[in-house]
Amino acid sequence: MTLQETLQKLESLGTEQNRKTYQRHGAGDLQFGVSFGNLNKLAKTIKRDHDLALELWDTGNADARSLATLVADPSVMTAKDLDGWVKSLSYHVHADLVARHVVAKSPHARTLMLKWMKSKDDFSSQVGWDVLALHVIDGRMKDSEADAYLKTIERGIHKAKNRTRHAMNNALIALGLRNLVFRKKAIATARRVGKVEVDHGATNCETPDAEEYILRAARRKKR
């Protein structure tokens, strides 16, 4: 599909209700309001099309950018392009999608993760911590490194910016799900950290209590 054909298809799939919902979540006005179910179906039709992904991202359209993360090829994404995508972020949902579908699967993931985690830009930092959580889950981290991040979270989470606090809390949960030893360490850290306040705007979204989430996940594993 060409860029124009793809945009026309996205426009045909959008709804006013979705537009209103996504606006409340911070997507802005440049969007069609396409459900993620329809985005996933369209991505399966397109499959991998990296050139199209780059074009979609450059439109700035929220739905086009979401689709771009699904059809991009992380293996050929350059560090420069990844950095450009992250620097242009203005929507926390895109930060999550870029982290999960593109950066975490890229050969540049670790280098950029470490860079972005230190960024003063909220969305860049969010992506860094999102990637960290994904690397904890897939096992690409030594115990000594995981220990160090528990300390970093404890020291810095309340000083961090809004979406970064949410991502750091998710990373704490991921560390707690690593194994039994880290479950205990993460719960102890969560208790010392206390409640993590995040502004989710005019939505019903909430930042989970890390200890409750870890314990609930542990109980599900035993079933």
- Tell me the whole-structure pTM to 2 decimals: 0.94
Note down the domain range covering 210. 110-223
For residue 131, give both structure tokens: 């990637």
Q: Are 152 and 167 in contact (CB under 8 A)?
A: no
Output the six-digit token pair for 148: 């160090």
Residues 196, 182: Cα–Cα separation, whole Å? 20
Q: What share of the chain is helix, strand, coil (3-state, %, to 5)?
A: 70, 0, 30
| Residue 135 maps to a domain | yes
Q: What is the DSSP string of 52-65?
A: HHHHHHHH--HHHH
Residues of the chain with pLDDT under 70: 223
C-alpha to C-alpha distances, 157 to 70, 111, 126, nearest whole angstrom: 30, 21, 12
Question: Would 92 be classed as within a structural domain?
Answer: no
Classify residue 200 by its DSSP letter: -
Domains identified in the chain, total number: 1
Q: What is the pLDDT of residue 137?
A: 75
What six digits make up the tokens of 116? Answer: 């972005």
> How confident is the model at residue 212, as a pLDDT?
96
**pLDDT at residue 140 in the model:** 73
Q: Is residue 72 part of a domain?
A: no
Within-domain flag for 180: yes
Give the whole-angstrom CA distance, residue 38 versus residue 81.
26
pLDDT score, position 223: 57
Q: Is residue 165 in some structural domain?
A: yes
pLDDT tens profile 140-177: 788 889 999 999 999 999 999 999 999 999 999 999 99
Q: What is the DSSP letter of 104?
A: G
Please give the torsion angle defined by the CA atoms of residues 40, 6, 19 and 71, in that order, rounded to the nearest 10 degrees.
40
* Residue at 125 is within a domain: yes
Q: Is residue 173 part of a domain?
A: yes
CA distances from 73 to 42, 58, 170 (A): 16, 16, 26
- Tokens 């890390």 belong to 210
Would you state the pLDDT for residue 141?
81
Residue 188 belongs to a domain = yes
Max Cα-Cα span within the chain:
53
Question: How many angstroms separate the Cα of 201 from the Cα of each of 26, 204, 206?
Answer: 8, 8, 10
**pLDDT on residue 221:** 75
